[in-house]
Every structure is written in structure tokens, then in C-alpha cells.
Amino acid sequence: MKERFVSYIHELQNTICAELERIDGKAKFVEDAWERPGGGGGKTRVITNGNVLEKGGVNTSIVHGQLPELMKQKFGVEEANFFACGISLVLHPKNPFAPTSHANWRYFEMYNAEGKKIDAWFGGGLDLTPYYLFEEDAQHWHQVCKNACDKHHSDFYTNYKKWCDDYFHNSHRNEARGIGGLFFDYLKDGNDGLSHDQWYDFVTEVGDSFLPAYLPILEKRKDLPFNAQNRYWQEIRRGRYVEFNLIHDRGTLFGLKTNGRIESILMSLPPQVRWDYNLKAFGPEEEKLMNVLVAPKEWIVEKEFKS
């Protein structure tokens, strides 16, 4: 499974980078290969100052070694080794009408002191952070998420959409980071009646859904005319993105506290950001976004009826 998922994420990294470069038409991803002192390493690919993407990263990492102290506590285990591989991406378009997107898919194995595998699971998801709300974009994004889920289990979309809403929440402001998508973790052999292989099929199905979910939205919004106020609002809202990542995001904080590669972790932060004291929404278009952030909503239009 390790080899299978590793080759999957490397292929997906190539596909996603190629498609984004095609849409951008100007900037190219630059790769930094890095090694982890404790074992393994990664390929950080960053694109900057493009026609479409102001800043973005599509990173893979394959790391292994002794389980860090923080994770031992978290999982309640003694001496243990781990293997983790994953792909993680964050894309910050230049145009304020084009949403930021984030996704990651990962696989984790844990071994006891004798080297025996004692646990293994998948995790990941994808979520969208618009600066202006286009309902049709939110509907499309969630419909692609739902289609991927429904092929595997009738409850997955509902469950993982809720998990996403709960997770990407700036509790200190009582508002969502964005309009959500899917979030899942600890997907293990036997859970929900799915085998390890079936979880692989599910997670890679979701991984394959990222481009069909995001690209049509990016294509539609990347060239919309915008003014200085739209840009200002985007920079203010990017501040909320930073707040979430630095205050609440488990992955970011875990990376920072376990000597992860800082620049690969903080690649997620937007390029230009503003904090104004007590700024309120400028007008009805900004209000429209805020209304769905303070109360996450259901985006699927045509409900299927199931007994």
C-alpha cells in the first residue's frame, strides 16, 4: 500500500501542476527537493506571480522514522516508528473573485518497537475559500465532492462535509474559513464496512476529483474585472486564512512543533495580507459571503431521495 499510494501522489502532483501551469499560461512551478533529518523527505513545488495564481504550492512528502513525542502522546503509544506520505496543496489566485483552494490526501502507518505494523489509515479532504460568493461555484464544488463520495458510501458526503465545516472554523471569530468541502481522517480497514483497499479507492477518487471541482471555477473567475476595493477585501479575508492556519490548523501547528520544514508548511500562507482594525463588510457583495460563513449551509441542489 505504501508504494501504491506514493506513486499515486507523485502522479497526482504532476497532473495537478501541469494543469495549473496550462491555465496560468505564464508562471511555472519551481521544485525544491528536501530531506528530513529523521528520515525521508519531500518535493515542494511552488508557483508565484502567475497570470492567474499569485502564489500556490503542490507538495508531496514521504517521511518515516521514530514517532515524535507529541504523536506518541496523541496516540497513547510508547516507542513506535511511523511512515507517512501525502500530497498537500494550497492555491491563492490573484483575482479576488477566484477562490483559494486547499486539499490534501495522506496515508499513515505506525509500527511497534519490533517493527510490526500496529495501525494504518488514510486522511485528507478538500475545501474552498471564496472572497466573494458565487452560489453556482459552491454548488458545483460540493456536487463534485458528493459524486465522489456517493460511489463509496451513501453517508460519506454528509459526514465528511460536516467534519469539514466543523474543522475549518475560526472559532475565535465564530465564522467558517470558507464554504467547506470534505474532511476525513483515521479511515481504517473495517471502518464503515470498507477494507483497506476500498479506502484507497475512496481517497484516490476524492484526490482525482480535485481538478474537476476546482478548475471550472478558476476558469470562470480568473479574468473577471475587479477594482481596488475587491482586492482590499480579498487581502482582509486572507488575514482570516492566516489566522486559521496559525491558530487552529492541527497540521500546521503539528509541523511547527515537530521540526517540520518551515517553508513547506508555511507555503500555505497567502502572499499579500491585510489586517485593519474592526473592518466590516464594505457592502452587499461582501455581506453575501459573510452570511454563509457565519452559518454553514447545504449546497447540494437536487436531493436524491433514499429510503
DSSP three-state, residue 289:
helix
Ranges within 87-116 binding a copy of itself (CB under 8 A)? none
Interacting residue with a copy of itself among 117, 257, 282, 298 (CB under 8 A): 257
Kindly determine how many residues on this chain lie close enough to bind a copy of itself according to the rule CB under 8 A: 30
Tell me the closest approach of the beta carbon of residue 129 to a copy of itself, in angstroms: 16
- The verdict on 290 binding a copy of itself (CB under 8 A) reads no
Q: How many CA atoms lie within 13 A of 277 on its CB side?
A: 0
Tell me the closest approach of the beta carbon of residue 284 to a copy of itself, in angstroms: 22
- The verdict on 294 binding a copy of itself (CB under 8 A) reads no
Q: How far apart are CA 104 and CA 87, in angstroms?
A: 5
Nearer to a copy of itself, 39 or 255 (CB): 255
Nearer to a copy of itself, 146 or 240 (CB): 240
Burial class (CB in 10 A: 0-12, 13-18, 19+), 240: buried
Q: How far apart are CA 18 and CA 3, in angstroms?
A: 23
Ranges within 172-191 binding a copy of itself (CB under 8 A)? 172-173
Please name every residue paired with 32 in a beta bridge, in sequence order, or none if there are none. Answer: 44
- The verdict on 28 binding a copy of itself (CB under 8 A) reads no
> What is the torsional sign of CA 175, 180, 182, 185?
negative
The single residue of 10, 64, 92, 102 carrying the catalytic annotation is 102
Nearer to a copy of itself, 159 or 170 (CB): 170
Nearer to a copy of itself, 24 or 235 (CB): 235
Q: How many CA atoms lie within 13 A of 6 on its CB side?
A: 15
Residue whose C-alpha cell is 494550497: 90
Q: How far apart are CA 203 and CA 108, in angstroms?
A: 13
102 is catalytic: yes
Interacting residue with a copy of itself among 35, 79, 263, 287 (CB under 8 A): 263
- The verdict on 32 binding a copy of itself (CB under 8 A) reads yes
The alpha-helical segments, DSSP class H, found in 173-248 are: 196-221, 228-243
**122: closest CA among 182, 210, 199, 9?**
199
Interacting residue with a copy of itself among 274, 285, 297, 300 (CB under 8 A): 274
Q: Which residues are catalytic?
A: 102
Residue ranges binding a copy of itself (CB under 8 A) = 32, 46, 48, 55, 57, 172-173, 235, 239, 242-243, 246-247, 253, 256-257, 262-263, 266-267, 269-278
